Amino acid sequence: MAAQSTRPAETVRKVAEQGLNDAVEITLLIGLMRGQNTGNVNKKLDEDGAGRAAGAIKHALTARLVLLIARAYANVKHGDLHLRVAACLLNDNTTRQIFGSSNGYDKLAAFDKQWIKCRGDHRLPRIKEFRDKFTAHLGEPKDIPEATYGDLFAFGAETAKAMELLALATGIAVKGLDTDPSLVSASEAFWKPWKQA
């Protein structure tokens, strides 16, 4: 695990870079999972004798997606490089000023707004609970509503947006993820051999 830099702005940049990679992966995972459930892909995989393997892939995709989303909100520990670390470091005015030149303050404000929205989202506890009791560990779940795939996909997209906004605010990215059509076409291409017209 990488150690947290003594320079907060450097740590924020590291988090933004990793967060952008995570945002891309979250977007791809959501596309892959949705793609598996369209065009009779699962039916065709069953017919071809690959249904059990497809089920294992679905579980692996779910676990990875849950992990990427939940870790962004974990409590901050020394050496961590997840999204919450950057949000905490940006509370320091000196660190914030480093990224505030030009229209940076507007971009930081957009990140802050998205981060606050995500932190208060009712789906976050459900996804954390799924991670804690079914993905990272096995245990008796608490008495809270179970996360649905709809929760996972929608909240995953919101989390990816927060990651993207941090990358834009820090200059790690210059364009949003929605400008990359390959994020959609890659998932479509993956399932194409099993799609039925």
The DSSP secondary structure of 83-121, one letter per residue, reads HHHHHHHTTSHHHHHHT-TTTHHHHHHHHHHHHHHHHT-
- Taking a C-beta distance cutoff of 8 angstroms, is the pair 161, 168 a contact? no
* Cα 61 to Cα 39: distance, rounded to the nearest angstrom: 19
Q: Please state the rounded mean pLDDT for residues 154-178.
A: 96
Q: 184: how many CB neighbours lie within 10 A of its CB?
A: 14
pLDDT of residue 145: 83
- Quick one: tokens of 30? 């959501």
pLDDT of residue 197: 56
pLDDT of residue 154: 97
> Please, what is the average pLDDT of the chain?
91
Residue 52 corresponds to which amino acid? R
For the whole prediction, is pTM greater than 0.85?
A: yes
Instruction: Identify the band that residue 183 occupies on the pLDDT scale cut at 50, 70 and 90.
Output: confident
Instruction: Identify the band that residue 2 occupies on the pLDDT scale cut at 50, 70 and 90.
Output: very low
* Whether pLDDT at 11 is above 60: yes
* Whether pLDDT at 150 is above 60: yes
* Whether pLDDT at 137 is above 50: yes
Q: Provide the residue count of the chain.
A: 197
pLDDT of residue 176: 92
Give 33-82 pLDDT, tens digit per residue: 999 988 899 999 999 999 999 999 999 999 999 999 999 999 999 999 99
* Cα 158 to Cα 30: distance, rounded to the nearest angstrom: 12
The answer to whether residue 134 is domain-embedded is: yes
Query: Of the candidates 25, 22, 58, 66, which has an alpha carbon nearest to the alpha carbon of residue 155?
Result: 66
Give 97-112 pLDDT, tens digit per residue: 999 877 789 999 999 9
Residue ranges in 131-194 assigned as alpha helix (H): 149-170, 182-191
Q: 3-state DSSP call for residue 46?
A: helix
- Quick one: tokens of 143? 């008495």
The answer to whether residue 54 is domain-embedded is: yes
Instruction: Identify the band that residue 136 occupies on the pLDDT scale cut at 50, 70 and 90.
Output: confident
How many domains does the chain fold into?
Answer: 1
pLDDT of residue 1: 38
What range defines the domain where residue 27 resides?
8-171
* CA angle, residues 137, 138, 144, in degrees to nearest 5: 100
The answer to whether residue 113 is domain-embedded is: yes
Instruction: Identify the band that residue 135 occupies on the pLDDT scale cut at 50, 70 and 90.
Output: confident
Query: Of the candidates 82, 69, 98, which has an alpha carbon nearest to the alpha carbon of residue 10?
Result: 98
